[in-house]
Structure 1
Amino acid sequence: MTRETKDDKDVEIQENAAAKGARDVRRDLTYDEAKEIAREEGMRPAFYAKVNVLNDAIFEIGMGRYQLELFITAGFGWMADNLWLQAIAIVMPAVANEWVGYPHIRLATLALYVGLIFGATFWGMSCDVIGRRLAWNSTLLVSGIFGVAVGAAPNYVAFASLIACVGFGAGGNLPVDGTMFLEFIPGPHQYLLTFLSVWWAIGQVIGSLISWVFLAHYGCPTPPAGEFCSRESNMGWRYAYFCMGALMIFLWAIRFFVLPVYESPKFLASVGRDEEAVAVIHKIAKRNGTTSSLTIEHLRDAALPFLSDETDLSITTKFSTLELVKHSFDNMSADHITALFSTRRLALSTSLVIFCYASLGLGYPLFNAFLGTFLAEKNANLGNASLNATYSAYTYQAACGVPGSILAALLVNWSRGGRKFAMSFFTIMAGAFLFALIASKTTTQTNALVSVASFWENAFYGVLYGYAPEVFPTPSRGTGDALASAASRFTGLFAPIIAAYIPDSVNGPVYASASIFMLTGIVMLFLPIETVGKTAL
Structure 2
Amino acid sequence: MPSPNSPTSRFHEQGEKTTMNEKSTLPSPEALAQHPVVGPAPELQATTVLDDASSEETKVDYNNQAAAEGLEPAFLAKVHILNHAMKEIGMGRYQYELFFTAGFGWYADNVWLQAVSILQPALAREFVASPYVRHSTTALYAGLIVGAFFFGTSCDVVGRRIAYNSTLLIGGVFGLLAGAAPNFVVFCVFIALAGMGVGGNLPVDGTLFLEFLPGNKQWLLTLLSVWWAIGQVVASLVAWVFLANFSCADPAPGTFCSRASNMGWRYTYFTLGAHMIVLWGIRFLVFPVYESPKFLASIGKDEEAVIVIHKIAKRNGTTSSLTLEHLKAAARPYLLAAGENPDKVEVKFSTMELIKHSVDDFRGKNIRNLFCTKRLAWSTSLVILVWALIGLAYPLFFAFLGSYLTAKVGATGGNLDSTYASYTYQAVCGIPGSILAAALVEWGRGGRKFALSLCTLVSAIFMFGLTQAKTEAQINALTCMVSFWLNAMYGVLFGYSPEVFPTPSRGTGDALAATANRIAGILAPIIGIYSVAAKTPDGPVFTSAAIFVVAGLVTLGFPIETAGHAAL
Number of aligned pairs?
Answer: 536
Pair 1:14 & 2:18 matched = yes
Pair 1:380 & 2:410 matched = yes
Shift in Å, 1:19: 6.0
> Could you say which residue in structure 1 is the equivalent of 2:30?
none
Pair 1:488 & 2:517 matched = yes
> Could you say which residue in structure 1 is the equivalent of 2:561?
530
Q: Aligned with 1:68: secondary structure?
A: helix
Tell me which of 76, 101, 106 is aligned to 2:129. 101
CA contact (8 A) 2:457 2:548 kept: yes
State how far apart, in whole Å, the 1-side matches of 2:513 and 2:495 are. 13
Structure (1 or 2) with the greater helix fraction? 1
Instruction: Describe the shift of the 1:314–1:73 C-alpha distance in structure 2 as closer, same or farther (beyond 3 A).
Output: farther
State how far apart, in whole Å, the 2-side matches of 1:251 and 1:19 are. 35
Tell me which of 203, 209, 213 is aligned to 2:231. 203
Pair 1:451 & 2:480 matched = yes
Shift in Å, 1:173: 0.2
| TM-score normalized with structure 1 length | 0.97
Moved more, 313-322 or 445-454: 313-322
State how far apart, in whole Å, the 2-side matches of 1:483 and 1:314 are. 34
> Could you say which residue in structure 1 is the equivalent of 2:296?
268
CA contact (8 A) 1:194 1:463 kept: yes
CA contact (8 A) 2:219 2:438 kept: yes
CA contact (8 A) 2:466 2:478 kept: yes
Pair 1:358 & 2:388 matched = yes
> Could you say which residue in structure 2 is the equivalent of 1:461?
490
Structure 1 residues 337-379: Cα deviation after superposition (integer angstroms, max 9, x where no partner): 0100111111010000000000000000001011111111112
Q: Aligned with 1:446: secondary structure?
A: helix
CA contact (8 A) 1:270 1:315 kept: no
Query: What is the one-letter code of the residue matched to 1:162?
Result: F
Instruction: Describe the shift of the 1:242–1:37 C-alpha distance in structure 2 as closer, same or farther (beyond 3 A).
Output: same
State how far apart, in whole Å, the 1-side matches of 2:292 and 2:100 are. 17
State how far apart, in whole Å, the 1-side matches of 2:396 and 2:342 are. 48
Structure 1 residues 381-433: Cα deviation after superposition (integer angstroms, max 9, x where no partner): 2232x221111111110000000000000110011100000010000000000
Structure 1 residues 196-252: Cα deviation after superposition (integer angstroms, max 9, x where no partner): 000000000111111111111111122232221111110000000000000110000
CA contact (8 A) 2:23 2:88 kept: no
Tell me which of 373, 388, 400 is aligned to 1:343. 373
State how far apart, in whole Å, the 1-side matches of 2:495 and 2:475 are. 30
Tell me which of 423, 431, 449 is aligned to 1:402. 431
Instruction: Describe the shift of the 1:315–1:232 C-alpha distance in structure 2 as closer, same or farther (beyond 3 A).
Output: farther
Shift in Å, 1:8: 6.1
| TM-score normalized with structure 2 length | 0.91
Q: CA RMSD in A?
A: 1.8
Query: What is the one-letter code of the residue matched to 2:543?
Result: A
State how far apart, in whole Å, the 2-side matches of 1:87 and 1:314 are. 53
State how far apart, in whole Å, the 2-side matches of 1:265 and 1:40 are. 23
Pair 1:432 & 2:461 matched = yes
Unaligned runs of 5+ in 2: 28-36, 43-49
Shift in Å, 1:526: 0.7
State how far apart, in whole Å, the 1-side matches of 2:392 and 2:61 are. 41
CA contact (8 A) 2:332 2:342 kept: no
Q: Aligned with 1:275: secondary structure?
A: helix
> Could you say which residue in structure 2 is the equivalent of 1:37?
65
Q: Aligned with 1:168: secondary structure?
A: helix
Tell me which of 527, 552, 556 is aligned to 1:498. 527
Pair 1:187 & 2:215 matched = yes
> Could you say which residue in structure 2 is the equivalent of 1:62?
90
State how far apart, in whole Å, the 1-side matches of 2:419 and 2:89 are. 49
State how far apart, in whole Å, the 2-side matches of 1:465 and 1:166 are. 22
Query: What is the one-letter code of the residue matched to 2:385?
Result: F
Tell me which of 483, 496, 504 is aligned to 1:475. 504
State how far apart, in whole Å, the 1-side matches of 2:94 and 2:111 are. 26
Q: Aligned with 1:333: secondary structure?
A: helix
Instruction: Describe the shift of the 1:4–1:88 C-alpha distance in structure 2 as closer, same or farther (beyond 3 A).
Output: farther
CA contact (8 A) 1:73 1:255 kept: yes
> Could you say which residue in structure 1 is the equivalent of 2:34?
none
Q: Percent identity?
A: 58
Unaligned runs of 5+ in 1: none
CA contact (8 A) 2:152 2:507 kept: yes
State how far apart, in whole Å, the 1-side matches of 2:135 and 2:3 are. 51
Instruction: Describe the shift of the 1:283–1:231 C-alpha distance in structure 2 as closer, same or farther (beyond 3 A).
Output: same
Q: Aligned with 1:200: secondary structure?
A: helix
Query: What is the one-letter code of the residue matched to 1:125?
Result: T
Instruction: Describe the shift of the 1:131–1:317 C-alpha distance in structure 2 as closer, same or farther (beyond 3 A).
Output: farther
Shift in Å, 1:321: 5.6
Query: What is the one-letter code of the residue matched to 1:402?
Result: I
Query: What is the one-letter code of the residue matched to 1:471?
Result: V
